[in-house]
Chain A
Amino acid sequence: MAERGLAAHLGTHLRENGMLMALVAIVFFFTVVLRTTLDVDFLSAQNITNLFLQNSYVIIMALGMLLVIVAGHIDLSVGSVVGFTGAVAAVLIVELDWPVIAVIPACLVVGGLIGAAQGYWVAYWRIPSFIVTLAGMLIFRGSTLWLLGGQNIGPFPRSFQSLSTGFIPDILGTWDEAVLGLERMNGTAVVLVTVAAAIVVWLGWRSRSRDAAFGMLPEPMGLFALRNLVVAAALIFVGYKLAQFRGLPNVVVVLTLLTVIYAFFTVSTTTGRRIYALGGNEKAAKLSGIRTERLVFFCFVNMGVLAALAGMIVAARLNSSTPKAGSGFELDVIAAVFIGGASMSGGSGKIVGVVIGALIMGVMNNGMSILGIGIDYQQVIKGLVLLAAVIFDVYNKSK
């Protein structure tokens, strides 16, 4: 099997590999700068945990937003839906004393209904999603204020808080003695992350060898090894750091599961494939027997459910529901999707890219905050990064 040249391969996969390299470079940059200027460890266990806790909701919503954008639409209401579902959770738990186990599905249903209400107009009445969800943004922000009576409602019981600030219990027991010269290791975290890294490499290897057996042109061996090495090392490093702190946050587990599920859904299911076809050419998709309206509707319902999940995580993290919760989130989420390589006209974009895009935004937020860069500069820089990523795409396409 003749392998294509490294350069040729990089050329066709410039976007994905470029994103990964950009993320690594940004992390490296902050690590060095923070170490030399403030003598702060950017990759400390606590900061890595924080990074995930702070950005989990953006990543979760970006998964749903990718589907909406791939289908050729947009959802501006997610920030308000975050606020609203958080408020619903607060009212149900704090004021009506519902058990947490009932509140979580109830809130997800509320999110789904909101998505359905908006998706109905977009899908079946062909009202532009920009307008429907702009209206939704106002409606649900207002409803949040009304529901909370302009007050914060909280605090939540521990069981609800654990949605965000909880950690996977350490079944294997913390290794108190020094292992590998290190102290206080959360055994469960180490084992889980190591297994996850092994699975990633194994799946990559299996798919590569099957493709090769099928006569597809494989990724050059060197690049394949390097990429897997970087990913596996990063995973194990993060897990090892987390293990030193308090173990795996629940949110990280949820996040990972959702990412895997959505990556599978978009790449390997017929419904996922149809959403891409619909975004690429709606008329052709329709004439190929695809029920385009139903798919658009589904994308919005799905977005609503994920926004509700994010809403509960945000409320749990703040330990109260506030009228302002979630405002501006829609912009972070949409930015993450576009930085992640989705096309504005629909039809393209990958889950992995979106997650990396969201992590880039998150790492920059976190790093700049520690550096003490003012919110004014932070916004300017984030704006420039978004613009640069999209210009990079457009430039690449025009070549």
Chain B
Amino acid sequence: MATLLEMRGIGKSFPGVRALDHVDLAVEAGEIHAICGENGAGKSTLMKVLSGVYPHGSYEGEIRYDGQEIRLRGIADSEALGIIIIHQELALVPLLSIAENLFLGNEVARRGVIDWRQVFQRTEGLLRKVGLAEAPTTPVEKLGVGKQQLIEIAKALAKNVRLLILDEPTAALQENDSQKLLDLLLELKAQGITSILISHKLNEIDRVADRITILRDGSTVSTLTRAEISEERIIRDMVGRDMAHRYPERIPRIGEVLLEVRDWNVWHPDQRDRQMIRDVSFNVRKGEIVGIAGLMGTGRTELAMSLFGRSYGRRISGSVRIAGKPVDTSTVPRAVAAGLSYVTEDRKVLGLVLDEPIMQNVTLANLAGVSRRGVLDKRLERRVAEGYRRSLAIRTPGVMQKVVNLSGGNQQKVVLAKWLFTDPQVLILDEPTRGIDVGAKFEIYAIMNELAEQGRGVVMISSEMPELLGMCDRIYVMNEGRIAGELSRAEASQERIMALILKDSRQRVA
């Protein structure tokens, strides 16, 4: 078998981060090559280098395709070579028909006039290839996510794909749709199309992949052949690093159960028959930091947001108790009144009013605390904001500074201040250290420890396993909307978390 693609010594830096460091990848013609790695291992960055999103010159190393060195200037170049990437977020125009989507930007036209007869003919041919029996005129929005995924592949076929890259194609799919997609990949392989499959799901890899390359911290760890693939080996290669980070010390003083969630079920807000959270029960004790681990898209944020004032999902059921008493968390004000706070994952979109000063962001969730009969006491408000600026060490000349001008770490502290001012009993922190530098991370950890020492309950959702292991007294592992297991501080390790996830995934297939 000939080598179709060879990437040698690829390196890529962003300001402050070394995303890729000497990655090697070789893909044989006609194989399905899986790429595995933790969140942030560099998979997506690598694929962006390959598809020309990061053009030649912005990375180090060499890409050879068909034995020739290639220097891509953009996506158009890679597509001309038949390298097509399908991203996790589908790039379809929902209101346009299947046929229009398939040839978008690549229309069958003469002097700008579309030849519809030929378009439909070719569309039907492509749909047959991917096993879809839809009319070419059907608007894409009428199709489910699974079928849309197939349309994306048909679109790639329309561009005469030779190397198809799929970035976690089954993350948003239900089981039978996933199976169909994998079958199609095998069929395409038989037709001589090479694929790169980025996936977390070991059972999928096991089913279709010929070889697997494992990335960790921006470097290639190993490339395994089919015979060498085993769960233990993959886990070891994926997570086998030292705990490089440091975490502030805390001696846990854990009290009685503070937050108790039972039989929590949540359905997708738009897709009627898709259940996002399934029978989730968990608890948090006084003075305890509890982690929720899991891969991206496993429903951790959905769980938190549905608990916090039903800000996500439909048909929510289950019970919430705080300090033993059943509480109503059906709206955000009620959840806050019950003593719950939720620090959102995306602070810019969901957490802050960026164009307003620090002061107004800090008091936003508890304006009653700085007002009398609806009239604000500006001086009290300023004192409150100044107090948090000092105690959380928000680095800024003053609290009238607009939040948009702050660094990520300081913005996160403003969000924390906002919720601390509501004096919550339980705080849910969703990816609290994402996108902030190492020093600020340490400060955020220290604040979390202090909250626990004050006797509050802290729930930490994170995709960075070392951080969970370093901070949490107990870790719940979530997978595909369920709690896959629970680990105490002593039991927890990256290997065991991964093993719980993979085991749960396997059970679901069986």
**A287 near B371 (CB under 8 angstroms)?**
no
- Tell whether, in the assembled complex, residue A288 and residue B356 are in contact, meaning their CB atoms are under 8 Å apart: no
State which of A210, A280, A287 has its C-beta within 8 Å of the C-beta of B356.
Answer: A280
* Chain B residues within 8 Å of A274, by CB: 367
Q: Which of A117-164 contact B (CB under 8 A)?
A: none
| Cβ-defined contact, B367 with A273, below 8 A | yes
Question: Is the CB–CB distance between B355 and A269 below 8 Å?
Answer: no
Question: Are B376 and A269 within 8 A (Cβ)?
Answer: yes
Chain A residues numbered 265-288 whose CB sits less than 8 Å from any CB in chain B: 268-271, 273-274, 276-277, 280-281, 283-288
Q: Confirm or deny: A181 has a beta carbon within 8 angstroms of a beta carbon on chain B.
A: no
Are A270 and B382 interface neighbours, CB within 8 A? no
Determine which of B350, B360, B371, B400 lies in contact with A277 in the assembled complex, contact meaning CB atoms within 8 Å. B360
When distances are taken between beta carbons in the complex, the residues of chain A under 8 Å from B351 are 284, 287
- Other-chain contact of B333, A270, A273, A276, A291 (Cβ < 8 Å): A291
A287 to B301, CA, bound (A): 13
- A269 engages B374 (CB within 8 Å): yes
Q: How large is the interface on B (under 10, 10 to 19, 20 to 34, 35 or more residues)?
A: 20 to 34
Per-residue contact bits, chain A 283-310, to B (CB 8 Å; 1 contact, 0 not): 1111111110000000000000000000
Which residue among A214, A274, A283, A289 has the maximum number of chain B CB atoms within 10 Å of its CB?
A289
B333, A289: Cβ atoms closer than 8 Å: yes
Bound together, the chains give a CA A283 to CA B400 distance in angstroms of 22
List residues of chain A with CB within 8 A of the CB of B332. Answer: 286-290
- Chain B, residues 290-318, CB within 8 Å of chain A (1/0): the string is 00000000000000000011010000000
Q: Mark A237-278, 1 if CB is under 8 A from B, else 0.
A: 000000000000000000000000000000011110110110
- A326 at the A/B interface (Cβ < 8 Å)? no
Q: Is B208 an interface residue (CB 8 A)?
A: no
Q: Is A210 in contact with B379, judged by CB distance below 8 angstroms?
A: yes
CB of B350 within 8 A of CB of A287, answer: yes
A280 touches B365 (CB 8 A): no
A348 within 8 A of B: yes
Among B360, B365, B382, find the residue whose CB has the most chain A CB atoms closer than 10 A. Answer: B365
A contact residues around B382 at 8 Å (CB): 214, 216
Kindly state whether residue B378 has any CB partner on chain A within 8 Å.
yes
**A79 beta carbon closer than 8 Å to chain B:** no
Whether B440 sits at the interface, judged by CB under 8 Å, is: no
The reply on A347 being an interface residue by CB < 8 A is yes
Given the complex, which residues of B lie within 8 Å of A210, measured CB to CB?
379
B330-359 CB contact bits vs A (8 Å, 1 = yes)? 011101100000101000011111111000
Shortest C-beta distance, B388 to chain A (Å), equals 15
**Are A288 and B308 closer than 8 Å at their CB atoms?**
no
- Selected contact of B354 from candidates A269, A276, A281, A290, CB within 8 Å: A281
- A348 near B376: Cβ-Cβ < 8 Å: no
Contact B367 A276 (CB under 8 A): no
Q: CB within 8 A of B353: which of A214, A281, A289?
A: A281
A210-B379, A214-B382, A269-B376 known; A285+B353 contact, CB < 8 A: yes
Interface string of A333-358 (1 = CB under 8 A from B): 00000000000000110000000000
| A347 & B379 in contact (Cβ 8 Å cutoff) | no
- For A281, list chain B residues within 8 Å (CB): 349, 352-354
Residues in B neighbouring A285, C-beta threshold 8 A: 353, 364
With beta carbons under 8 angstroms apart, the residue of B344, B354, B374 that contacts A271 is B374
Complex: how many Å from CA A271 to CA B355? Answer: 18
Closest to A345 in B: B355
Is B510 an interface position by the 8 A CB rule? no
**Interface on chain A toward B: helix, strand, loop, or mixed SS?**
helix
Instruction: Please tell me if the beta carbons of A284 and B352 are within 8 angstroms of each other in the complex.
Output: yes
CA distance A164 to B212 in the complex (A): 82
Contact between B356 and A277, CB atoms less than 8 A apart: yes
Q: Does B368 contact A (CB under 8 A)?
A: yes
Say yes or no: A273-B360 contact (C-beta < 8 A), given A284-B352, A287-B342, A347-B353: yes
Q: Is B216 interfacial (CB-CB < 8 Å)?
A: no
**Is B353 a contact partner of A268 (Cβ separation < 8 A)?**
no
Q: Which single member of A270, A277, A286, A348 contacts B311 (CB below 8 Å)?
A: A286
Residue contact A268 to B379, C-beta cutoff 8 Å: no
B356 touching A276, Cβ below 8 Å? yes
Q: Which of A270, A280, A284, A347 touches B368 (beta carbons < 8 Å)?
A: A270
B162 CB-CB contact with A under 8 Å? no
Contacts of B155 in A (CB 8 A): none
What residues of A have a CB within 8 angstroms of the CB of B474 in the complex? none
The verdict on B12 contacting chain A, using a C-beta distance below 8 Å, is: no
Are A289 and B355 in touch, CB under 8 angstroms?
no
Q: B441 in the interface, Cβ–Cβ < 8 Å?
A: no
Interface status of B482 (Cβ within 8 A of chain A) = no
Q: How far, in Å, is B302 (CB) from chain A's closest CB?
A: 14
B200 close to A (CB within 8 Å): no
Interface assignment of B251: CB less than 8 Å from any CB of chain A:
no
Residues of chain A lying within 8 A (CB to CB) of residue B1:
none
Interface membership of B375, Cβ < 8 A: yes
Complex interface: chain A residues within 8 A of B211 (CB): none
Q: Which residues of B contact A270 (CB under 8 A)?
A: 367-368, 371, 374-376
The reply to whether B355 and A347 form a contact with Cβ atoms under 8 Å apart is yes
Q: B418 interface residue, CB < 8 Å from A?
A: yes
Q: Which residues of B contact A216 (CB under 8 A)?
A: 382, 400
B378-392 interface bits toward A, Cβ cutoff 8 Å, 1 = contact, 0 = none: 110010000000000
Q: Are A280 and B355 in contact (CB under 8 A)?
A: yes
B354 touches A287 (CB 8 A): no
Give complex CA distance A210, B354 in Å: 28
Contact A289 B374 (CB under 8 A): no
A210 to B485, CA, bound (A): 58
Q: Roughly how many angstroms separate A342 CA and B350 CA in the complex, as a whole number?
A: 23
**Closest chain A CB from B99 CB (angstroms):** 30
Q: How far is the CA of A302 from the CA of B386 in the complex (A)?
A: 35
Are B308's CB and A348's CB within 8 A?
no
Q: How far is the CA of A288 from the CA of B353 in the complex (A)?
A: 11
Contact with B along A193-219 (1 / 0, CB 8 A): 000000000000000001000101000
Q: Once the chains are docked, how many angstroms separate the CA of A305 from the CA of B403? A: 35
Distance from A288 Cβ to chain B, minimum over Cβ atoms (Å): 4
Which residues of A lie under 8 Å from residue B375 when comparing CB positions? 268-270
| Cβ–Cβ contact B350 & A214, under 8 A | no
A112 to B349, CA, bound (A): 33
Q: Identify the interface centre among A269, A273, A287, A288: most chain B CB within 10 Å of its CB.
A: A288
Tell me which of B336, B344, B354 contacts A289 (CB under 8 A). B336
Contacts of B331 on A, CB cut-off 8 Å? Answer: 291
| Closest residue of A by beta carbon distance from B347 | A284
Q: Which residues from chain A contact B374 at a C-beta distance below 8 Å?
A: 269-271
State A347–B311 Cα separation when bound (angstroms): 22
Contact across chains for A287 and B308 when beta carbons are under 8 A apart:
yes
Give A278 Cβ to nearest chain B Cβ, in Å: 9
With known contacts A214-B379, A283-B350, A288–B418 Cβ distance under 8 A:
yes
Distance between A53 CB and nearest chain B CB, rounded to angstroms: 33
Q: Which residues on A sit within 8 Å (CB–CB) of B350?
A: 283-284, 287
Q: Enumerate chain A residues within 8 angstroms of B336, measured Cβ to Cβ.
A: 289
- In the complex the two chains form, is A287's CB within 8 Å of B376's CB? no
CA distance A280 to B351 in the complex (A): 11
Known: A214-B382, A270-B376. A289 touches B349 (CB 8 A): no
Q: Which residues of B contact A (CB under 8 A)?
A: 308-309, 311, 331-333, 335-336, 342, 344, 349-356, 360, 364-365, 367-368, 371, 374-376, 378-379, 382, 400, 418
In the A-B complex, list the 5 residue pairs whose CB atoms are closest, starting with the nearest.
Answer: A280-B353, A270-B367, A288-B365, A289-B332, A289-B333
Return 25 A-B CB contacts under 8 Å, by A number: A269-B371, A270-B374, A271-B374, A276-B356, A276-B360, A277-B356, A277-B364, A280-B354, A281-B349, A281-B352, A281-B353, A283-B349, A284-B349, A284-B350, A284-B352, A285-B364, A287-B308, A287-B309, A287-B311, A287-B342, A287-B344, A288-B365, A289-B333, A290-B364, A348-B355
Q: Could you list which residues of chain A lie within 8 angstroms of chain B, going by C-beta atoms?
A: 210, 214, 216, 268-271, 273-274, 276-277, 280-281, 283-291, 347-348
Q: Given A280-B354, A286-B332, A291-B331, 8 more contacts at CB 8 Å?
A: A270-B375, A283-B350, A284-B364, A287-B342, A288-B332, A289-B336, A290-B332, A347-B356
